[in-house]
């Protein structure tokens, strides 16, 4: 992960990625976590967010993965919240978010539960 790659994604998003998520990306290549969560690597972050039209339907959030069952894993871009949310790809609206963890690091440490 290069600084240029991060800068390019952040310019495209129009937001700085949250520090807690950048720390995660520094050591992460795309792959599965736990039994069913796919967490995207930096290489596919933009493409996945374009595909799911995250900026249009969920401004202020970024899709960082999926639950292998039709739901996107979301983080806020404000940097203040470290909560993790799920939302169906067919209803990508803030009102439909489901909180799965109050803290991203704790969620990772628990192997990314989504139930």
Residue 104: exposure state from Cβ atoms within 10 A (0-12, 13-18, ≥19): buried
Q: Distance between CA atoms of 81 and 67, rounded to whole angstroms? A: 21
Tens-place pLDDT, residues 43-79: 899 999 999 999 999 999 999 999 999 999 999 999 8
pLDDT band at 5; cut points 50, 70, 90: confident
DSSP string computed for 44-82:
HHHHHHHHTTHHHHSTTEEEEEE-SSSEEEEEESSSS--
* 62, two tokens: 């970024």
Q: How far is CA 60 from the centre of its chain?
A: 11
Tens-place pLDDT, residues 11-54: 999 999 999 999 999 888 889 999 899 999 988 999 999 999 99
Are residues 6 and 83 in contact, defined by beta-carbon separation less than 8 angstroms?
Answer: no
Domains by residue range for the chain, with CATH: 3-109 (3.40.1580.10)
For the chain, count helices (H), then strands (E): 5, 6
Q: What is the pTM of this model?
A: 0.93
Residue 77: exposure state from Cβ atoms within 10 A (0-12, 13-18, ≥19): buried
pLDDT the model gives residue 98: 97
């Amino acid at each position: 992960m290069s600084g240029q790659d991060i800068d390019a994604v952040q310019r495209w998003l129009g937001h700085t990625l949250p520090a807690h998520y950048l720390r995660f990306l520094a050591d992460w290549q795309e792959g599965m976590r736990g039994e069913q969560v796919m967490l995207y690597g930096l290489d596919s972050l933009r493409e996945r967010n374009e595909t799911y039209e995250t900026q249009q339907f969920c401004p202020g959030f970024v899709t960082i993965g999926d639950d292998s069952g039709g739901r996107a894993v979301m983080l806020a871009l404000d940097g203040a919240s470290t909560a993790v949310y799920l939302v169906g790809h067919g209803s990508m609206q803030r009102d439909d978010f489901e909180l799965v963890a109050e803290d991203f690091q704790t969620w990772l440490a628990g192997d990314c539960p989504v139930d």
